[in-house]
Structure 1
Amino acid sequence: MILGDTILETRDLTKQFKGFTAVNGVNLRVCRGSIHALIGPNGAGKTTCFNLLTKFLVPSAGRIVFNGIDITHERPAQIARRGIIRSFQISAVFAHLTALQNVRVGLQRSLGTAYHFWKSDRTLAELNDRAMDLLTQVGLTDFADVPTVELAYGRKRALEIATTLAMEPELMLLDEPTQGMGHEDVDRVTALIKKVSSGRTILMVEHNMNVIAGISDTITVLQRGEVLAEGSYAEVSKNPLVAEAYMGSADAALTGAHA
């Protein structure tokens, strides 16, 4: 892996909805091997940006380039095959499958057998070793046979990251990975994100400034659909425009105003 070169870039990315411009000329550059955070006040355009990058929305203007290839007009399935995998804000796992079975579904997708649910357990057992390895990576070894519906919220999010990893992402997009969590779960999932970032790139939307400060290499701040500031946490946190955007005070910007 060549650290520092650009894995994902947007050029004048724009999205309009019936005259309302949600994303306006955003130029984003994500470096390979980095953890890049996208933050901003409510309505800043963060989720719209994510939806454009994963092709759940079609840009009104601008370009999206991944590994030097223009992917602006590709479909979500094509994007996923290129290695851009999104973990959703709301835990996206099968509630009545066990943790092991959930990860195995992710592995089936990566093998192109995503819908072979009728296959016998014996046939699918070859995926178990890899699935257990992924559960171990996210600290869920002891919960392999537990139905997902019985897992605590933080562990469901850890499971979601495991299923995302099963897709072998080159670029992981994490949408509010610590939303709704207590302090202990936030710390666990933050450490997990840092751990799984080894060997891959992460772009995440996150509202918790403590999380952002602890693991982000680069932060892009959006306001009203435009890039307001960009840099390290130390740089961004001292920017008076960022402080003003977060409810008019530097304290609000630094202590976790909701983004």
Structure 2
Amino acid sequence: MDDIILETAGLTKEFLGFVAVSDVSLRVRRGSIHGLIGPNGAGKTTCFNLLTKFLPPTRGTIRYDGRDITGMKPAQVARLGLVRSFQISAVFPHLSVLENVRLALQRQRGGSFDFWRSETLLRQYDDRARALLDDVGLNGYADLTAGELPYGRKRALEIATTLALDPVMMLLDEPTAGMTHEDVDRIVALVKRVSAGRTVLLVEHNLKVVSGLCDTITVLARGKVLAEGDYASVSRNPEVVTAYLGSEAEGAAAHG
């Protein structure tokens, strides 16, 4: 039997009568890169918010690593190793790149009052912070103010701060959104690299990224699971072509 690290059953979220996520059953294998795709409004980000407990489900259950986390709070699931990186880059723009990662390392250690400690004591995190920056290709940017980083590099910094929390499973919300082709290639290579020994679940709109990264893909449409499988099988599914690829083609034609 497959080793399933994250599983949902009947996951549903309603907002004042509108069903954003409907009866979603998801099974993510440990050590895999699993993609969640679908057209705009399909319920992908709502699903992420449910998995990471930023939203309570209307119905359904969520199990992570054999444990029922349906009623847990975001900080509790993060401490279990289920860590989310947000769609909009979430860094402290006025701190240096190194300080951003160091802050995440302090948080992982659980020292609430480290802000008041001496600079010498805080430097104990620097070697690990620099190693994480090296992992994401930012070793030459350590002393730069985070707000000065180009957009693609900010996303790399965000992934570094996520890695600082020592995740067992990473949830990445549109990691390549708004990027140039060069940045997209860099982030794809980065996700491949940091996925070693971890599980990754990602929401992504760029099908080329999904095809190059994901072992398994779940397609959502109108809040429901439309199809699941590898990229080759999903991309040939007529319902997926109509709901997702068709809408992309229509959009391209409208702008062409």
Question: In which range does the TM-score fall when normalised by the shorter chain?
Answer: over 0.9
TM-score by length of 1: 0.94
Matches within 5 A, 1:13-28: 13-28=11-26
In the TM superposition, what is the alpha-carbon distance from 1:4 to its structure 2 partner?
A: 4.3
Partner of 2:218 in structure 1? 220
d(CA) in 2 for partners of 1:39, 1:92: 22
Partner of 2:158 in structure 1? 160
1:212–1:114 Cα change, 3 Å: farther
Percent identity among equivalent residues? Answer: 64
d(CA) in 2 for partners of 1:161, 1:193: 9
Q: Give the one of 60, 63, 72 matched to 1:65.
A: 63
d(CA) in 1 for partners of 2:36, 2:238: 18
d(CA) in 1 for partners of 2:161, 2:117: 19
In the TM superposition, what is the alpha-carbon distance from 1:113 to its structure 2 partner?
A: 1.6
Matches within 5 A, 1:30-179: 30-114=28-112, 116-179=114-177
In the TM superposition, what is the alpha-carbon distance from 1:150 to its structure 2 partner?
A: 1.0
Q: Which has the higher helix share?
A: 2
- Structure 2: which 5+ runs fail to align? none
In the TM superposition, what is the alpha-carbon distance from 1:248 to its structure 2 partner?
A: 2.9
CA contact (8 A) 2:6 2:27 kept: yes
Q: Give the one of 192, 200, 203 matched to 1:202.
A: 200
CA contact (8 A) 1:103 1:131 kept: yes
d(CA) in 1 for partners of 2:56, 2:33: 25
**2:206 pairs with 1:246:** no
CA contact (8 A) 1:11 1:26 kept: yes
1:76–1:60 Cα change, 3 Å: same
CA contact (8 A) 2:21 2:47 kept: yes
Give the aligned length.
251
In the TM superposition, what is the alpha-carbon distance from 1:117 to its structure 2 partner?
A: 1.7
d(CA) in 1 for partners of 2:145, 2:76: 31
